[in-house]
A = this chain, B = another copy of it.
């Protein structure tokens, strides 16, 4: 245990893009001591913080669960190790998923954490990625809402992102023809050559609309949306009869790249029997154990590749890493490794 405890806090609400030194600031806070623990509490040490596009949204439109004000510690999903416990279920050394956020050491109520889901064969960071909310969102969104059938055309936006790449790979495992949308030629190459997508289209390219139309061919059966805005409407315009549109996120509006993220013609949903469904992985909580089993099995069989961007360094790297994430500089799940496990 170090004698220093760094905490990164919200210094100002960003207007558009995050400006690392302006949006956030850091301070040194006292290292909490095990002797301060009350019954039912844990002392934990942060190993990884999860960097997710939705955090940007929550800076301006706080999620009730976060409810961060200026000066508050930045919260995010976190993987931590228990250093001291006054709750029977947890022992020193246990790894836990928590929301303690951007701090080295913290005291947390045991009912605010869960044991990290780390079966044999998993990487520690999988507790935030493939086996955390990222992988679970991809799994339930694609399989419970998208429900791709063999030979159907599935389109995934932000397909090189954390949830997108997993959702697309799961569709591929179901036998669908998978088209990814991503920013930049290198990401598109990665999706096709390394992850086995059938096609990938670069939304930053001048001929995006043309290439998109080409790639989707006869139309879209499942669209897994992480971006909203213009691309959502383009997908709706190509949606087939009885297609399913899965609304997972809308990074183009968190980022304010797009100001409108709606559906222009709701009547078309009736005409073509289209479903547009938003979801939260927790809607399917009872499926988590099975979902994690499937994901781990697919990973071990080589059907599902782990795509991960691990940023190394202390918590002072977190603001710039989050800004990079929102500029799409990551491939796959981005985590900051605060301390190697």
| Interface residues in chain A, defined as those with a beta carbon under 8 Å from any beta carbon in chain B | 225, 228, 232, 242, 247-250, 253, 260-280, 283
B276–A276 CB distance below 8 A: yes
Q: In the complex, what residue of chain B is closest to A226 when comparing beta carbons?
A: B270
Closest B residue to A276 by beta carbon equals B276
Q: Which of B262, B273, B278 contacts A278 (CB 8 A)?
A: B273
Contacts of A268 in B (CB 8 A): 278
Known: A275-B275, A275-B277. A247 touches B269 (CB 8 A): yes
- In the assembled complex, the Cα of A273 lies from the Cα of B246 at a distance in Å of 10
A275 in contact with B272 (CB, 8 Å): no
| Most central of A225, A268, A277 by chain B CB within 10 Å | A277
Please determine whether A265 and B262 come into contact, CB atoms closer than 8 angstroms. yes
Query: Is A278 a contact of B275 with CB atoms below 8 Å?
Result: yes
Q: Specify the chain B residue showing the minimal Cβ separation from A57.
A: B267
Residues of B near A249 (CB, < 8 A) are 267, 270
| 21 residue pairs from A and B, CB less than 8 Å apart | A225-B266, A228-B266, A232-B266, A247-B266, A249-B267, A250-B266, A250-B270, A253-B267, A260-B264, A261-B265, A262-B266, A266-B276, A267-B278, A269-B276, A269-B277, A269-B278, A270-B278, A271-B278, A274-B277, A275-B277, A277-B277
Q: In angstroms, how far is the closest chain B Cβ from the Cβ of A85?
A: 34
Q: Which residues of B contact A261 (CB under 8 A)?
A: 265-267
Contacting residue for A283 out of B253, B263, B273, B277, CB 8 A: B273
Could you tell me if B283 and A242 are in contact, using CB atoms closer than 8 angstroms? yes
Contact residue among B242, B250, B263, B275 (Cβ-Cβ distance under 8 Å from A262): B263
A35 CB to nearest chain B CB (Å):
42
Residues of B within 8 A of A270 (CB): 247-250, 278-280
Q: For the complex, give the distance between the alpha carbons of A266 and B274 in Å.
A: 14
Across-interface contacts of A248 in B (CB, < 8 A): 270
Chain B residues with Cβ below 8 Å from A279 are: 270, 273
Minimum CB–CB distance from A253 to chain B (whole Å) comes to: 6
Smallest distance from the beta carbon of A158 to chain B beta carbons, Å? 13
Distance (whole angstroms) from the CB of A155 to the closest CB of chain B: 16
Given contacts A249-B267, A263-B263, 4 further A-B pairs with CB under 8 A are A242-B283, A262-B263, A263-B276, A267-B278
Residues of B within 8 A of A283 (CB): 242, 273
CB of A164, distance to nearest CB on chain B (Å): 14
Q: Separation in Å of the A207 CB from the closest CB of chain B? A: 26
- Asked if A274 and B278 sit within 8 Å, CB to CB, the answer is yes
Q: Does B276 lie within 8 Å of A277, measured CB to CB?
A: yes
Q: Cα distance A278–B271 when bound, in Å?
A: 7
From residue A245, how far is it (CB to closest CB) to chain B in Å? 9
A251 nearest in chain B by CB position: B267
Question: How far does the alpha carbon of A273 sit from the alpha carbon of B262 in the complex, in Å?
Answer: 15
